[in-house]
Amino acid sequence: MRTLRTLIPVLAAALMAAGCGPADPPDAPDAPDRPGEADAVIEWGLVMHGGAGTITRDAMTPELEADYRATMTEAMEAGHSILADGGGALDAVIATIRILEDSPLFNAGRGAVFTAEGTHSLDASIMSGATGNAGAVAGVTTIRNPIELARLVMDSSVHVLLAGDGAEAFAALHGVETVDQEYFYTERRWRQLEEARAEESAEAERSTVGVVALDRSGVLAAGTSTGGTTNKKWGRIGDSPIIGAGTYADEGCAVSSTGTGEYFIRNVVAYDICARTRYTDYTLAQAAHAMIMEQLEAQAPDLGGIIAMDGEGRVVTSFNTPGMYRGWIGPDGRAETAIYR
Ligand code: ASP
């Protein structure tokens, strides 16, 4: 999977050496400073986020922080064990996200935020970098693990994105596990809805989840799952189920986003980052920095962030918020977790 992308620079260098290339490549020799560094390089493994927002030490208790880190570790270990056994990137993404969806801590599955009507409406998507196949669901209300339904849409339908009642009917046809809306009730999210109603605002702390995995055969995959934004109205759908905005994967780059979805849709964030590495000489870290810290930051502060990996196992995280729940795990099986900037 990594061959074509790896070969392009080599071929380009050979052509240049033979005098066939442009004499003066547009970005060299005085390329501007391009900040952005990989957080880690791993032969195979995965990187996850649990949302970005106003996540500060003062707003966190030691117990809550320990809970977040423990759940992130458990989730990453589940994905890691699939990869360690030679399993595929898609399966690792699903296994990791399932645990995050089953936790009340994250705004996905069980811990989903409330809509303005006091209900829950969930979105998820997944994409394979190997095949370019993708599946997504939006506005589902009874699905326990929306990421699994997204995978089914990809594998067992000719469509990419199913929404609302249609998605629920498709789930019923395939015997997908459903739950009552009460399953998604958590006191913490209810309080957030009350605060948002009082302020007539959207939420400040989000905790959508996303995972990017690189398996041992070099295949990348990405997935994202969310309850959306607190107090959302009128069937609002964010970026998380939109391929190219919330989730994207190709043979050399995979991204999952979190943040104010409207901005991530308008800027086609996940695809743009990958495209920049494909069509220019930006590294993944530089492409992520250019999108999150420059392009989005110029539009508004505190919008969110991304996690990403390239085909060489470079792990990149970038966010313009005070914090982003995040972590990665490589072949040694030691999960790293981080929360604050
Ligand atoms: N991106 C999600 C949405 O706009 C929210 C989040 O990431 O927390 O629906």
DSSP 221-265: EEEEEE---TTB-TT---STTSBTTTEEE-SSEEEEEEE-HHHHH
Q: Is 125 in the pocket of ligand 1 (CB under 6 A)?
A: no
d(CA 178, CA 157): 19
Q: Is 231 in the pocket of ligand 1 (CB under 6 A)?
A: no
Please say whether the beta carbons of 243 and 290 come within 8 A. Answer: no
Query: What pLDDT is attached to residue 1?
Result: 46
- In this predicted structure, the answer to whether residue 24 has a pLDDT above a threshold of 80 is no
pLDDT in tens, 247-281: 999 999 999 999 999 999 999 999 999 999 999 99
* 170 pLDDT tier (thresholds 50, 70, 90): very high
Query: What pLDDT is attached to residue 207?
Result: 87
- In this predicted structure, the answer to whether residue 6 has a pLDDT above a threshold of 70 is no
More confident residue, 3 or 57: 57
Q: Is 206 in the pocket of ligand 1 (CB under 6 A)?
A: yes
User: For the chain, what is the mean pLDDT?
Assistant: 92
Which one of 96, 142, 208, 224 is the catalytic residue? Answer: 208
Q: Is 229 in the pocket of ligand 1 (CB under 6 A)?
A: yes
- In this predicted structure, the answer to whether residue 19 has a pLDDT above a threshold of 70 is no
d(CA 67, CA 81): 21
3-class SS at 195? helix
Estimate the share of the chain in helix, then strand, then coil, as percent rounded to the nearest 5: 40, 25, 40
Q: What percent of the chain has pLDDT over 70?
A: 89
Residues 6 or more apart whose CB falls under 8 angstroms from that of 148 comprise: 94, 98, 176
Residues 6 or more apart whose CB falls under 8 angstroms from that of 106 comprise: 50, 51, 71, 100, 207, 208, 209, 325
Query: What pLDDT is attached to residue 126?
Result: 99
pLDDT in tens, 84-109: 999 999 999 999 999 999 999 999 99
- In this predicted structure, the answer to whether residue 29 has a pLDDT above a threshold of 80 is no
**Distance (Å) from CA 209 to ligand 1 centroid:** 9
pLDDT in tens, 311-338: 999 999 999 999 999 999 999 999 999 9
Residue 19 burial (C-beta neighbours within 10 Å; 0-12, 13-18, 19+): exposed
Nearest to 224 by CA among 106, 328, 67, 132: 106
Respond yes or no: is residue 208 known to be catalytic.
yes
- In this predicted structure, the answer to whether residue 10 has a pLDDT above a threshold of 60 is no
pLDDT in tens, 210-225: 999 999 999 999 999 9
Query: What pLDDT is attached to residue 223?
Result: 99
**Distance (Å) from CA 122 to ligand 1 centroid:** 10
Please say whether the beta carbons of 190 and 114 come within 8 A. Answer: yes
- In this predicted structure, the answer to whether residue 52 has a pLDDT above a threshold of 60 is yes
